[in-house]
């Protein structure tokens, strides 16, 4: 099944080929939601504030 391609994938390939400017819009959307600058201080604070989890969460004796 290495040659299988879904109908949705085929449609998207054809649509992107017919609308080349959409690739730029796609990159803008990705940058808006995913490609964010990371703060080392904030990341360190999150790691320090983490509460340890237990193997069995509902065990009252822990």
pTM check: above 0.75 = no
Spell out the SS3 assignment of the chain: CCCCCCHHHHHHHHHHHHCCCHHHHHHHHHHHHCCCCCCHHHHHHHHHHCCCCCCCCCCCCC
* Average pLDDT of the chain to the nearest whole number: 87
Residue 14, pLDDT score? 96
Least confident of 1-5, 8-12, 39-43: 1-5
Of residues 7 and 33, more confidence is placed in: 7
pLDDT tens figures, 4-13: 999 999 999 9
């Amino acid at each position: 099944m290495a040659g299988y391609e879904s109908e949705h994938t085929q449609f998207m390939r054809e649509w992107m080929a017919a609308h080349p400017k959409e690739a730029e819009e796609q990159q803008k959307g990705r940058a808006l939601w995913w490609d964010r600058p990371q703060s080392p201080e904030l990341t360190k604070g999150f790691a320090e504030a983490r509460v340890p989890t237990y193997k069995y969460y509902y065990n009252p004796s822990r």
